[in-house]
Chains A and B, each alone.
Chain A
Amino acid sequence: MKHKSTTVAALTGAAMSLPAFSGTQPAESTLSVSFSQYREADIPKDEVVAGSHERYDIEVGKFRLVTPLGADWSLAVDATRETMSGASPWGTLYGATGEPNLIMSGATISDSRTEVALSSTRYTDNASYTLGVARSEEDDYKATSYRIAGEWDRDNKLSTIALGFSYSSDELSPTEAVLFGRVPEASRRSRSISGSWTQVLGKNAVLQSGISLTKKDGYLDDPYKLRDVRPDERTQWAVSLRYRRFYDNRNAALHLDYRYYDDDWGIDSHTIDLSWHQNLGIGFQLVPRVRIYSQAEASFFEAADDYTLPKNQPQSSDFRLSGYGALSVGLKAIYRIPAWTVSLSVDQYRSDERFGHNKSRYEHPALLDFTLTNLGLEYRF
């Protein structure tokens, strides 16, 4: 009897394991919703020469349904609704101390974004093929994207090779364009190709290596900045490693991710994500995590806007193009019962030029600190 139940357990485990890293049709439907709050910390008042020192708050609601269709297909429906309010940086100028200060927008910006995405996947014995389309709309930004992807299993599902292409066409129509002399309408395109190789290393370990290439062209400036001129093309490369290992003696899993990024705007970056998934029994799990990020500045980054440069010469004082680093620490609690999963997480993000591997000459006064809180609910049926 004991032998029989062990065999059944092993076969059940095997059946459950096959979808783990390969493109296999889901055996059940999964409905997920999440509610999130994103809160940016205020900027010190002495670093703002005009506008609000209060930054963005965003509320995010997400919905996802993945369900099998017939014997060989599945359908995924994603929807996102965001409402945002607050102020954002318009530009920089050198202050009395010789360091850059900020010109901010007023605290009256409010907007909302809705995104809907559909994708369908067909499964064969050792492969799956996905087609997807997504549409995102805001008052001043509309984007439509398409995606095609495939996964192929090798070595009795111990290896999976994946390949994907995506294309996005975006339309910008900045608000108050006439009043502030902004471009009234513009467009940009993005094309991306990605590949990955997932390899089971043993009964308790798996590794995925990935690579992606993205080419963007069109109007890549930030239309809300007072002086922001960027090249009208950008090529971005990224390589990544994702490692998962389970430690039987600790009843916990280690997640270690690394990404190296490089682009032709002169920016390179390193990202390390580390998390520890500790099982505590009766369905509870705690996940402490840390993320370390560092980037070099763009070749055309200026600490303060330079109005003496020709209007067609690239320059930007956007803090996102400066050299800096960021440290994020978080904690997630998960409770799983057979059909349900509930999770709650809080992450605190702090950026600082001293954390960067190739920092800018001045610390940018708009470098971000934020708190991200997320409540998730999943139902399987």
Chain B
Amino acid sequence: MRLMCLVLIFLGGCETVKPWERGTLARPEMQLDSDPLETKLREQVYQSKEAASGGNGAAGAGCGCN
């Protein structure tokens, strides 16, 4: 954790956040993926129309999209 915080120091570093201080983090707009259906749609479009893929989780079923 310390190493990661050093790397991320330009982002403000890490703080100890108590459970009762996490209300903002729980907001829908603060989720890493706030709309899974739309995210899946966009990822499929980009994967089938561009060369790059991956980076966020393991791949699902393939398709013959072209």
Contacts and interface: CB of A to CB of B under 8 A. Distances in A.
Interface string B14-57: 11111111111111111110111110111001100111111111
A156 interface: yes
B22 to A, nearest CB: 3
A317 interface: no
Contacts of A253: 27, 29-30
Interface in A202-234: 202-214, 222, 224
B63 A143 contact: yes
A69 interface: no
A192 interface: yes
A374 B38 contact: yes
A157 B37 CA distance: 26
B14 to A, nearest CB: 5
Contact of B58 (A34, A194, A320, A368): A194
B17 A203 contact: yes
B27 A246 contact: yes
Contacts of B4: 197, 199, 209
A189 B61 CA distance: 11
Contact of B49 (A207, A263, A368): A368
Contacts of A156: 19
Contact of A14 (B15, B23, B41, B60): B23
B32 A242 contact: yes
Contacts of B30: 20, 206, 244, 246, 253
A212 B57 contact: yes
Interface range on chain A (Cβ under 8 Å from partner): 35 or more
A17 B19 CA distance: 7
A254 to B, nearest CB: 10
Interface residues of B, number: 53
A16 B61 CA distance: 32
A62 B41 contact: yes
Contacts of B29: 246, 252-253, 277, 279, 285
B22 A267 contact: no
B59 to A, nearest CB: 5
B25 A20 contact: yes
A378 B5 CA distance: 36
Contacts of A252: 29
A44 interface: no
A115 to B, nearest CB: 6
Contacts of A38: 45
Contact of A202 (B12, B49, B61, B62): B12
Contacts of A238: 52-55
A196 B50 contact: no
Contacts of B45: 38, 370, 372
Contacts of A261: 51-55
A138 B63 contact: yes
A177 interface: no
B23 to A, nearest CB: 3
Nearest to B41: A36
Contact of A62 (B31, B37, B59): B37
B15 A201 contact: yes
Interface of B: 1, 4-5, 8, 11-32, 34-38, 40-42, 45-46, 49-64, 66
5 cross-chain pairs, A with B, having the tightest CB-CB distances, nearest first = A17-B22, A13-B23, A141-B64, A166-B58, A240-B55
Given A10-B20, A16-B26, 19 more contacts: A13-B20, A13-B23, A115-B63, A117-B61, A134-B60, A145-B61, A149-B57, A158-B16, A199-B14, A201-B8, A201-B12, A202-B15, A204-B25, A208-B32, A209-B4, A214-B53, A253-B30, A261-B52, A267-B51
25 contacts: A10-B20, A34-B37, A62-B40, A62-B41, A115-B61, A136-B61, A136-B63, A168-B60, A199-B5, A200-B22, A202-B12, A202-B17, A205-B11, A206-B25, A207-B8, A207-B11, A238-B53, A238-B55, A240-B56, A242-B32, A253-B30, A277-B34, A293-B50, A321-B51, A370-B49
